[in-house]
Amino acid sequence: MSLYYEAASILANTASSGGSLKSRIYNSKHLKSKPAQVFALVTEATRWSAVLKEVVERSGILKDERKLTPILAVLLSHDLILSKSGIAAPNNHVLKLAILRHKARLNAEFTKLRLKRGFPSVVAFRSSIEAGQSSELDVLNGGDETTTHEHPRWIRVNTIKSTVEKQLETTFKDYQQCDDICQVGQASATDKVIHIDKNIPNLLALPPRADFSKSQAYQAGEIVFQDKASCFPACLLDPQPGEGDVIDACAAPGNKTTHLAALLDERCKTKSNNAERSDIVAFERDSRRADILQKMVGLAGADDTVAIRAGQDFLRAIPSSNEMQNVGYLLLDPSCSGSGIVGRDDTPALFLPSLPATANGTGGSNLGSKKRKRKQTSTVESAQLDKTESVPENEPEISQSEEALKTRLASLSAFQLKLLLHAMSFPSAREITYSTCSIHTEENEGVVMKALASTVAREAGWRILKREQQVDGMKKWHIRGELSACEALKEELAFEGDEREVAEGCIRCEKGTKEGTMGFFVAGFVRSSSVLAEALDGSYNQVHGGEQASQGEEVEWEGFSDDGDGLQLPASGETESQNP
Ligand SMILES: C[S@@+](CC[C@H](N)C(=O)[O-])C[C@H]1O[C@@H](n2cnc3c(N)ncnc32)[C@H](O)[C@@H]1O
């Protein structure tokens, strides 16, 4: 398969695949082309895609060339117009022939666009694109900023080592505070604007391409790169020192673990000196990722509070054992499809040309020999999720079928439910949060409803943490769970609770909105005080002590690889996972 088909396949499956772009390319067992070449083509073409989208649309080549899909057109026009070595394919290759037939038109459209944007040379245009200053928003939709939003660089101040005030006086001393998050989202890498978040304490938003990885504060663990949505679980759990230990069940690389440690540390500082302390037990079954967790915890100054269970499966922790007797809180952030993740540092947004309209008003009559309907696409989202790309004859399928996605989600959600039921079987637990960076209801409201309807939850007295009981920032957050998903399961599960209360208790974040978050989901669970009192009294444990929700075979999951790419650990400079 040629470089272009391989690169197109990678881009077509971006939304439904886990892991960073780099790890998916370098770890792929199916690539015939050199991974470095595929990675360079995909990232460069994506970077230019807002420009190339317009060039391809104006040239009208998708109308004439049956072999070209929107993704292939972007990749090939990139190499034709912008790569020094041109199209990397033999002269008689069908794709090379298809794109070369339109060389003059494509170059002319590119030049027109460059001049219209005020760049006297390709070099000037290139440096603007590379600096991220020539925003995609200016090119797309005539600058309609209501449709696409950039993802700010979110930074959590680690209050174990610093404070927001100190950071504003040092790391961000030249920065101007602004009230509107959109102002930050639209800023270039060099604009000095900063926004203090209103939902999560100690969270700052900075321009999308601002780079603080070399800053003293980052190297010293005073600031942590963490998406706003990813701060929701620890904030919602709101553990109180002296009310039991905290388990982080799926901990690496450790963003939420260190956030929990900071919250406990802050609360201890504000309580009297004799306040009982709580420890955090962080499980991570992948030993390689546990090493990263260890480094993150050390860097955050949380070694004293966090006990890492490296290479240990949370499902094997025995809730009734002596060491788990004092567990009061559990944060569960398991592996998931990762479908909510946006703006990984190595994956800029991809913009694709729309297919030409047909007589009946739909896109795409230029089908390849495998005739399948192609949707008209113009946004990043629809481009990435389009499962109906036309595929040239004898070339591999480049999209995942709906069926495969369903199977994958069923497998993942069974695994997630199993972990949640296990968390619910800890006898002294008073609160649990369950979160995913997935947009799929199967992994979110579906798991929550199934857990609430389970025997384990009913017997142990678990119910949803209602919106009005949540900490202020979470109560005020406006995007709640999907009611229709909860309603759809109510009957099937014979759920006796109030599904509206469940949906309202669930919290969602959407990607691509002006809020600047990734797609995320979190729900909290609390226990009725009578059952908890019984448990703390020891009587619950006598009756239920040996019962574990987690016995039996572990569900096979094929989800988000969580492989750790992209996370830069300041101390070692090692390249590991940028987890949301
Ligand atoms: C989504 S990531 C967690 C991200 C982390 N909470 C953070 O905020 O940095 C899921 C992690 O859970 C780990 N994991 C999955 N199943 C597990 C299990 N049964 N026991 C312990 N760790 C598990 C995976 O190896 C992966 O590192």
pLDDT, tens digit, for every residue of 529-564?
777 777 666 555 544 443 344 333 333 333 343 433
567, pLDDT greater than 70:
no
- Summary mean pLDDT of the chain: 81
Q: What is the mean pLDDT of residues 66-86?
A: 93
In the prediction, which pLDDT does 25 show?
A: 85
Domains of the chain: 3-144 (no CATH), 153-225 (3.30.70.1170), 231-340+405-569 (3.40.50.150)
In the prediction, which pLDDT does 402 show?
A: 63
User: What residue type is assigned to position 471 of the chain?
Assistant: V
In the prediction, which pLDDT does 274 show?
A: 53
- 441 CA distance to ligand 1 centroid (A)? 20
CA–CA gap between residue 221 and residue 336 (Å, rounded): 27
Q: Which atom of ligand 1 is nearest to the CA of 554?
A: 19
Residue 325 has φ and ψ, to the nearest 5°, of: -60, -35
Per the annotation, binding residues for S-adenosyl-L-methionine are 250-256, 284, 313, 333
Q: What is the mean pLDDT of residues 426-439?
A: 96
Q: What is the pLDDT of residues 103-130, one digit of tens each?
A: 999 999 999 999 988 888 998 888 777 7
DSSP string, 20-55: -HHHHHHT-SS--S-HHHHHHHHHHHHHTHHHHHHH
> For atom 14 of ligand 1, which residue has the closest CA?
250
- 313 CA distance to ligand 1 centroid (A)? 9
Q: What is the pLDDT of residues 466-498, one digit of tens each?
A: 999 999 999 999 999 999 999 999 999 999 999
Task: Give 565's pLDDT tier (boundaries 50, 70, 90).
Answer: very low
Give the max Cα distance, the chain: 81
Strands 327-332 and 431-436: what pairing? parallel
Q: Give 140's DSSP letter.
A: G
Pocket test for ligand 1, best of 318, 562, 577 (most atoms within 8 A of CB): 562
**Which of 231, 235, 437, 509 does the annotation list as catalytic?**
437
In the prediction, which pLDDT does 145 show?
A: 35
Strands 431-436 and 306-310: what pairing? unpaired
CA–CA gap between residue 506 and residue 500 (Å, rounded): 10
392, pLDDT greater than 90:
no
> For atom 13 of ligand 1, which residue has the closest CA?
250
Strands 520-527 and 462-464: what pairing? antiparallel
Tokens encoding 50: 């807002």
Pocket test for ligand 1, best of 225, 247, 281, 285 (most atoms within 8 A of CB): 285
- 440 CA distance to ligand 1 centroid (A)? 19
Q: What is the pLDDT of residues 180-206, one digit of tens each?
A: 998 898 888 788 999 999 999 999 999
In the prediction, which pLDDT does 1 show?
A: 53
Per the annotation, binding residues are 250-256, 284, 313, 333
Q: Which long-range contacts (CB under 8 A, 24 or more apart) does 457-461 make?
A: 457/421, 457/424, 457/525, 459/544, 460/424, 460/425, 460/527, 460/531, 460/535, 460/540, 460/544, 461/527, 461/528, 461/530, 461/531, 461/532
> For atom 11 of ligand 1, which residue has the closest CA?
250
DSSP string, 178-230: -S-HHHHHT--TT--EEEE-SSSTTEEEE-TT---TTSHHHHTTSEEE--TGG
In the prediction, which pLDDT does 289 show?
A: 92
For 209, other C-beta atoms within 10 Å of its C-beta total: 18
Q: Which atom of ligand 1 is nearest to the CA of 293?
A: 9
How far separated are the first and last CA of the chain, in Å rounded?
33
Do 268 and 241 touch, CB atoms closer than 8 A?
A: yes
- 334 CA distance to ligand 1 centroid (A)? 5
- 439 CA distance to ligand 1 centroid (A)? 18
For 190, other C-beta atoms within 10 Å of its C-beta total: 11
Task: Give 322's pLDDT tier (boundaries 50, 70, 90).
Answer: very high
CA–CA gap between residue 541 and residue 18 (Å, rounded): 39
Q: H or E segment at 185?
A: helix 181-185
User: Between 368 and 226, whose confidence is greater?
Assistant: 226
Residue 550 sits at the vertex; the CA angle it makes with 544 and 553, to the nearest 5 degrees, is 145
- 385 CA distance to ligand 1 centroid (A)? 26
Pocket test for ligand 1, best of 281, 284, 296 (most atoms within 8 A of CB): 284
User: What residue type is assigned to position 371 of the chain?
Assistant: K
Residue 272 sits at the vertex; the CA angle it makes with 266 and 274, to the nearest 5 degrees, is 110
Q: H or E segment at 193?
A: strand 193-196
In the prediction, which pLDDT does 14 show?
A: 62
E-only strand ranges, 519-574: 520-527, 566-568
In the prediction, which pLDDT does 538 show?
A: 59
* 3-state secondary structure (DSSP) of residue 204: strand
> For atom 12 of ligand 1, which residue has the closest CA?
250
Judge if pTM exceeds 0.90. Answer: no
User: In the annotation, is 509 catalytic?
Assistant: no
306: β partners: 280
User: What residue type is assigned to position 576 of the chain?
Assistant: E
Helix axes 255-270, 287-299, angle to 10 degrees: 30
Q: What is the pLDDT of residues 327-356, one digit of tens each?
A: 999 999 999 988 887 654 445 667 888 766
32, pLDDT greater than 60:
yes
305, pLDDT greater than 80:
yes
Q: Give 175's DSSP letter.
A: P
For 310, other C-beta atoms within 10 Å of its C-beta total: 18
Q: Which atom of ligand 1 is nearest to the CA of 436?
A: 1
For 177, other C-beta atoms within 10 Å of its C-beta total: 11
Q: Which atom of ligand 1 is nearest to the CA of 579?
A: 9
Pocket test for ligand 1, best of 335, 438, 551 (most atoms within 8 A of CB): 335
- 555 CA distance to ligand 1 centroid (A)? 15
CA–CA gap between residue 8 and residue 31 (Å, rounded): 12
Quickly tell me which residue has 């400079």 as its tokens: 573
User: Between 140 and 503, whose confidence is greater?
Assistant: 503
- 562 CA distance to ligand 1 centroid (A)? 8
> For atom 25 of ligand 1, which residue has the closest CA?
286
Site residues for ligand 1, CB cut-off 6 Å: 230, 250-256, 283-286, 289, 313-315, 333-335, 562, 579
> For atom 6 of ligand 1, which residue has the closest CA?
251
User: Between 309 and 32, whose confidence is greater?
Assistant: 309
